[in-house]
Amino acid sequence: MAEIERVHAVPPEQLWSTYVLGRKPVIITDLLEGMPSRSVAQTIAAFRDLSVAHEHGAGPLTLRDIHEREAAGVHALDLPIEHVRPARGLFDLVDRLKTPLDRRLDELGRGPARADCALMFYGFHEATPCHTDGWVTQSVSAQLAGTKEWFLAPPQLVAPLGPYGSTILMDPMKLTREQRQTLAELIGGYSFTLQPGEALYWPHQWLHGTYYHEPSIATVLHFGRDLFSVFVSREVHRGFLRHAILEKLYPASAIEQRHWNDFIALHDACRHAHANPAARFHAIEDVLRQVYASCYPDQPLARLAFDFESIRALDEQACISFYEGSLERNREAWVETTQQPLFDWWRAS
């Protein structure tokens, strides 16, 4: 049975070696002990002066405004980091695992939240459909108040769910909790409920979805970015192959020790001046298939439980759009945030 592990008092070195490098999600039960234990109403009251969002034609909103106005919905908001600091266990753990690149992105506000903020999620009677995040970063989601249901699956095992782009055709968040649990067991994923005061670590590029059956407030902190995986997210369209290979091409030491030739093949295909976005997509897709075959010799694409060719037109247009629009912006952001050359940066240092 796919039951997620719950642990207490995990030092940062152990979180890194056992769970980050082991590609294994875990719930840590003591990280919010420094924060007063609060109900949803108390948490909303504690953040009463905090302006968290704007709406069209309206001024700043507080969490209480959103809570009182909406019968259902999910909102992603910026939570100033000082509200997280009292949770010393959480703050210290993530802070010890931040890389120089994480700190630079935090300072510039180029991560998922504004500068000096953490991402906060408020939701009620709504699901966040299963998806894979575009950024490549480790995440710890701390449940401040209320509960939240989660579905998680490693990227190389999601073929039966119909992966395309950053999402899947069949959404487990539309199933009942019991059906979702059975599905998790069948494919090798996890289905569980995060309780208030608990914090979840989950590996980057894992499929994840959530359901808020009651008002629920959580904050998420990030760490562990390196230039190699950020390069792949900068240059390569989202999809099953990218997600699956990043499970192996991380961290940089794994590339250097085991996947250097794979990485260079991908790097060189990205560096090449292709005739147009469609040509770029096809060239990179070819290399992704080769790298996938090298990373997963026991799980060839042709034997996976999904007919990728049947949705090729659907997938292809979204991927080509990435090369038409996002790629140039991603490259500009790389230069600004990393201050490294676009290619071959390891030779420059």
- Binding residues (CB under 5 A) for Fe ion: these are 133
Q: Which is nearer to Fe ion, 102 or 133 (CB)?
A: 133
**Nearest distance from C-beta of residue 222 to Fe ion, angstroms:** 11
CB 331, min distance to Fe ion, A: 23
97 Cβ partners below 8 Å, 6+ apart?
12, 15, 16, 20, 138, 223, 224
Q: Which is nearer to Fe ion, 133 or 315 (CB)?
A: 133
Pick 133 or 198: Cβ nearer Fe ion: 133
Least CB distance to Fe ion at residue 206 (A): 9
CB-nearer residue toward Fe ion: 74 or 333: 74
Looking at residue 214, the DSSP 8-state letter turns out to be S
Q: Determine the Cα–Cα distance for residues 177 and 191; give it in Å rounded to an integer.
A: 8
Angle between helices 277-295 and 260-271 (to 10 degrees): 180
Nearer to Fe ion, 133 or 285 (CB): 133
If you count them, how many residues does the chain have? 349
CB of 284 to Fe ion, least distance (A): 24
**Residue 251: is the preceding peptide bond cis (ω within 30°)?**
yes
CB 179 to Fe ion: min, Å:
22
The amino acid occupying position 193 is: T
Question: What would the two tokens of residue 17 be?
Answer: 């070696």
SS3 297: coil
**What is the smallest separation between the CB atom of 191 and Fe ion, expressed in angstroms?**
16
- Calculate Rg over the CA atoms of the chain: 20
Please identify, using beta-carbon distances, which residue of 133 and 262 lies nearer to Fe ion: 133
Count CA atoms closer than 13 A to 328's CA, side-chain side: 5
- Give the residue from 224, 178, 216 showing the smallest Cα distance to 72: 216
What DSSP character marks residue 266? H
Structure tokens at 230: 């950020």
- CB nearer to Fe ion: give 147 or 166: 166
- CB 220 to Fe ion: min, Å: 9
